[in-house]
Amino acid sequence: MSRTFEELSPQNFSFNSPLGWCPACEGLGTERGTNQAVLIASPEASLLAGAVSAWPDPRKNDAFRAFLEAFAREFDIPLDVPWYQLDSRHQRLVLYGSERWIEVTLPGSSAPAKLQYKGLYPAIEEAARVSYSYRLQLQDLIGEKPCSVCGGDRVRDDAAAVRLGGMTLPQTSRLPLNEVLEFLEQLKLNKEQQKIAGDLLHEATHRLRFLIDVGLHYLTLDRGMPTL
């Protein structure tokens, strides 16, 4: 499907400019949120074997095991399959929960109770909003993650869709500097394109060669200041 955009200016391609940056993350490419790698610390383990580090250990907590088994029955989730092998629907249920009520017979109780599983993400984010002390306790679970709007591209979707030599700006920004230089040097421009971009390409390649010559060939253009 073809897309149309308003005429773009150089500022539209800058994640440091309000005209160009993603309106959700303002050009950072990240947002605060729950880090799945911390929640699922053992993706090679099954749910029953403790894949989800944010849960009580079902091997040691009988009440939680009873709930987990009822939850798994309700949604046909296998409890003996490693997390990374679960299908995306089952993983999403664990992460985001469901509005469905589940009947669970807890240890020591003869009557079933109705419980609702809200999901890891909603539960943690809700708890973090309750009080500052909760937020401190959960700080290891909440960190930077790719922006949910731009996916880490940092610029608006119109600029991110533009291609030069088959590459988009976000794709080029993720390349090491030596590969960016190689890409720019092999560009074939017609006379009109050369008239528009010739001086700019000359300046860009000159700066890239300098950075490479001083040993910074491994850097990428999208690397954040705190990582330098």
Count the domains in the chain.
2
Q: Which of 144, 164, 187 finishes a domain?
A: 144
DSSP class of residue 112?
-
pTM of the model as a whole: 0.53
Q: According to the model, what pLDDT value does residue 123 have?
A: 84
> Are 5 and 127 in contact, with CB atoms under 8 Å apart?
no
Same domain, 46 and 132: yes
CATH code for position 99: 1.10.8.280
Chain Cα centroid distance, residue 14: 21
> In the predicted model, is pLDDT for residue 84 greater than 60?
yes
CA distances from 187 to 135, 181, 201, 208, 218 (A): 50, 10, 10, 15, 21
Same domain, 42 and 140: yes
Q: According to the model, what pLDDT value does residue 3 have?
A: 62
- Average pLDDT value for the chain: 88
Average pLDDT over residues 129-152: 75
Same domain, 116 and 215: no
Report the distance separating Cα 6 and Cα 158, nearest Å: 9
**Residue 148 banded pLDDT, cuts 50, 70, 90:** confident
Let me know if residue 26 belongs to a domain.
no
